C-alpha cells in the first residue's frame, strides 16, 4: 500500500528545495549583473571608441553574490550528505 502522506512530504520538500536553489543562484547572478556606479568617465578603451566608466560594481553587491553562491554550495552539499549513507 502506498503511504500518501510520505509521498506528499517528499514532493513538498523537493519543490521547496528546488525553489530555494534556483532562487539563491538567481540572486547571485542578479547581484553580479548590477550595473556600474555613475562616476567620472575614463579614456575610450573599447572598439566603439565611446566613454568607459571604470568604477565597477558596488562591493556590497559582489559580497552578497558570493554569499549566495556559498549558500547554494552548502545546500547542495547538505543534500548529498543526506543521500549518501557513508557520510553519516
End-to-end CA distance of the chain: 30
pTM: 0.71
Q: Is residue 31 part of a domain?
A: yes
Q: How far is CA 24 from the centre of its chain?
A: 4
Query: For position 36, what pLDDT does the model report?
Result: 72
Residue scoring higher pLDDT (49 or 56):
56
Is the residue at 51 inside a domain? no
Residue 47 lies in a domain: no
Domain-embedded: residue 87 = yes
Residue 75, exposed/middle/buried by CB under 10 A (0-12, 13-18, 19+)? middle
Q: Which domain holds residue 68?
A: 16-35+56-88
**Contact between 83 and 65 (Cβ < 8 Å):** no
Percentage of the chain with pLDDT > 90? 65
Query: Is 49 within a domain?
Result: no
Rounded to whole angstroms, the Cα distance separating 45 from 61 reads 25
pLDDT band, residue 44 (cuts 50/70/90): low
Residue 52 has pLDDT above 60, yes or no: no
Looking at the structure of the chain, the number of domains it has is: 1
68 is a domain residue = yes
Amino acid at each position: 500500500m502506498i503511504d500518501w502522506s510520505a509521498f506528499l512530504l517528499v514532493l513538498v520538500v523537493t519543490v521547496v528545495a528546488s525553489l530555494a536553489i534556483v532562487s539563491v543562484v538567481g540572486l547571485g547572478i542578479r547581484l553580479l549583473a548590477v550595473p556600474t556606479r555613475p562616476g567620472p568617465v575614463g579614456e575610450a578603451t573599447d572598439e566603439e571608441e565611446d566613454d568607459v566608466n571604470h568604477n565597477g560594481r558596488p562591493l556590497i553587491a559582489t559580497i552578497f553574490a558570493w554569499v549566495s553562491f556559498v549558500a547554494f554550495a552548502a545546500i547542495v552539499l547538505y543534500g548529498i550528505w543526506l543521500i549518501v549513507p557513508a557520510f553519516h
